[in-house]
Every structure is written in C-alpha cells, then in structure tokens.
Structure 1
Amino acid sequence: MSRVNISKQHPDVYQQVVALSKSAEEAAAAAGLDKKLIELVKIRVSQLNGCAFCCRLHTRDAVSAGETADRLAVLPAWWESQYFSEQEQDALGLAEEVTRLSVPERTDWDNGSLNPEQVSAVSWLAVVMNSWNRVAIRSGYRVAP
C-alpha cells in the first residue's frame, strides 16, 4: 500500500489546504499580480516538483486566462527567453527559490520589479503549490489522456 489518497483519508486537512490556497490566490490578486502570472508560478513550481497532475491542471487554467503556447513552451527555461517581463522573471525566480530552499538564499531573481506585498504573495503561491504537488504526488493522482 505505497499510495493512499491522503485527501480522502483526511478530508478535513485537505479542506484546510483548499482554504490556504484560496487565501494565497486572493493575496496575489490583491497585490496586483496578473492571473496569467499566478498560473505561471503554479506551473513552474509543479515542473520543479515533477507533478504531472498540477502541470496539466494549471496549464489549462493558464490557457483559459489567455496565456500563449509559446510562453508555456519556454517556461522550463524562462531565463533564456525574452518572453517574460522583469516582474514575471522576478516572480519565477522567487518561486524557484521558495521551492528549492537554497542555502544560502539566492537573490539573483530580485531586480526590484516586485514590491514587498508581491514578494509575499508569490512566496505564498509557491508554498501552497508545493503543498498541492505533494498531495497529488503522494496520493498518486492519475494523469491520463
């Protein structure tokens, strides 16, 4: 029994993650972050964690929000492309920093295009997305065509 759907075993805990996720989304919107950027952060964190379920889910959400196939295609190597604004690059770099927890802390993502509220909001998005990735991966959420 290596895989147990933890969201079904402890639905009350799962609902707390749902509430945390909603709060992080609201904070990101209140901080003025674009819906497409919010989804890019979620996708990038999910790529780093190898969570196919969340990659698919948030790619679909990004497309619904108006994201382009070209930008989604280069997201795994965002720093090599010219597709992303300074703010998007900062947010993606910060999300990677939160996901990887580099010690000592990296700050090469910080070019000043995110204000403190936005840094906090992106950090919370990454923290929550890391949690969701672990729920999906640990539970063995299926990803079939």
Structure 2
Amino acid sequence: MEPRLNFYKASPDAMKALGTLEQHIAKCGLEKQLVELVRLRASQINGCAYCVDLHAADALKADEAPRRLATLSVWQETPFFNDRERAALAWTEAVTLVSETHVPDAVWEQIRPHFTPEEIVDLTLLVSTINAWNRFAIAFRKLPA
C-alpha cells in the first residue's frame, strides 16, 4: 500500500482545526490512560493501522499495562478494566459505530454514573476526533513508520 496524499501539506488549516480539538482534549481532565484506551479502541474498530500503532505506543508511554493493551479488543471478557473504563469503552464503541447502534439507552445509562456531563461531552469529542483522524489516515493511506 502506498500513501495517497500528505494531508498535512495539502490543507494545513484543516489539520490545524483538528489540532485545536486535540488541544482541548489534552487539557480537559480525562485521564491520559483512558484517553489512549479510547483512541486505541476506536482505531481498532475502524481498522486504522497507523493510529493503532501510534496509540498503542502512546498508551505504553502513559504507563498503560501491556496486558490491558493486548486484551483491549476483548475488554468485555476480561477483568482488567474498571467500571469507569468499561463505560467509556462502551460509549466509544457505540459512538464509533453510530450508524449501526444509534448509541443505545443502555450505553447512556452505563456512562452516566461514572462521568460528569462535562466529561461525557469531552469523551464524545475525543471519540469524534479520533474517528476523524482515522478517516484521514485510512482514506489517504497513512502508514505506520
């Protein structure tokens, strides 16, 4: 597979806009490990090799346990994630697959006890932003280094 287009060079202003979203995410208060788990899980669902590679490495740098990373794709069947993380991962999957799930009420009820309204908005922005990055990387064939 060959890269199709360097989207950073083709439209720097578009990438700057995504960067502004990332700046908000970085300062919003969600835990770094949780942020990387969400980015990695959405990237796994979307099949984005570049982002899976990047966010697995970033999660390790944030002191994430390799065992948890190895089992992230089957998080529902492992005891390695706490209730807050499980709620965030369920939300991530439902929002990433919005055309299929329409974000069911059960997932909404699962997230509400573990996140404030502001955190739910920030988490949704995080999920939406990584989905945007995945689409750029996949569409333009950005490859892991």
Report deviation, 1:92: 0.6
> Do the aligned partners of 2:94 and 2:102 also contact (CA within 8 Å) in 1?
no
CA distance in 2, matches of 1:84, 1:3: 38
Q: Please say if 1:113 is aligned against 2:104.
A: no
Q: Which segment is superposed worse, 97-106 or 52-61?
A: 97-106
CA distance in 2, matches of 1:58, 1:103: 25
For 2:141, the aligned partner's letter is: G
For 1:19, the aligned partner's letter is: T
Do the aligned partners of residues 104 and 42 (structure 1) sit closer, same or farther apart at CA in structure 2, a change above 3 Å counting? closer
> Do the aligned partners of 2:54 and 2:144 also contact (CA within 8 Å) in 1?
no
RMSD between aligned residues: 1.8
CA distance in 2, matches of 1:20, 1:98: 17
Report deviation, 1:103: 4.5
CA distance in 2, matches of 1:127, 1:82: 27
Q: Given the two structures, how large is their TM-score scaled by the length of structure 1?
A: 0.88
Which residue does the alignment assign to 1:125? 126
Identical residues among aligned pairs (%) = 35
Q: Aligned ranges for residues 49-64 of structure 1 at < 5 Å?
A: 49-64=46-61
Q: Please say if 1:85 is aligned against 2:82.
A: yes
3-state SS, counterpart of residue 82 of structure 1? coil
Which residue does the alignment assign to 2:97? 100
> Do the aligned partners of 2:40 and 2:52 also contact (CA within 8 Å) in 1?
yes
> Do the aligned partners of 2:95 and 2:103 also contact (CA within 8 Å) in 1?
no
CA distance in 1, matches of 2:67, 2:18: 32
Alignment match of 1:35 (pick from 10, 32, 36): 32
Runs of 4+ in structure 1 deviating by more than 4 angstroms, as ranges, are none
Which residue does the alignment assign to 2:43? 46
> Do the aligned partners of 1:5 and 1:140 also contact (CA within 8 Å) in 2?
no
CA distance in 2, matches of 1:63, 1:105: 29
CA distance in 2, matches of 1:8, 1:41: 27
CA distance in 2, matches of 1:13, 1:132: 11
CA distance in 1, matches of 2:101, 2:54: 31
> Do the aligned partners of 1:39 and 1:59 also contact (CA within 8 Å) in 2?
yes
| Unmatched segments (≥5 aa) in structure 2 | none
CA distance in 2, matches of 1:105, 1:135: 23
Aligned residue pairs total 140
